[in-house]
Amino acid sequence: MPKAKKRTDSSSSSDSGPDDRNVPPVKKSKASTDKTGSGSSNKDTNSSENPNGPWTIEKLRQVRINEFKGRKMVDIREYYEKNGDLLPGKKGISLSPYQWKKLLELAPEVNKALGD
């Protein structure tokens, strides 16, 4: 026959469940901390105007230089507008400087395969 488990007093503060767990801090949107000041403008950006981007590929697709965990990354991403702010979407890729340079090396082969 199984032994009965001891019941603890429900007013005990030793284990009050999920309430005493650390709640993660609320993250601010990247649009509010974006130093590029891109706003919601869809106009093409010239590299002479801002050498650190963002550069618009087409409509809301942009290339930006971001920093992640202390490392610079080339971020190619679709953005969306919400309440007048331009926010990063899920569709995109971040490349390390090495991967970016490798992609540029492969560009002539890709162009040849496309027939350009």
Query: Any residues with CB less than 8 A from the CB of 79 and at least 6 apart, and which?
Result: 60, 61, 62, 86, 87, 88, 89
Could you give the percent of the chain with pLDDT greater than 90?
50
pLDDT, averaged across the chain: 76
Domain parsing of the chain, residue ranges: 55-114
Does this model's pTM top 0.85?
A: no
Architecture of domain 55-114: Roll (2.30)
- In tens, the pLDDT along 76-101 reads 999 999 999 999 999 999 999 999 99
Given this model, what pLDDT does residue 52 score? 75
Which has more confidence, 67 or 24?
A: 67
State the Cα–Cα distance between residues 74 and 65, nearest whole angstrom.
5
116 has a pLDDT exceeding 70: no
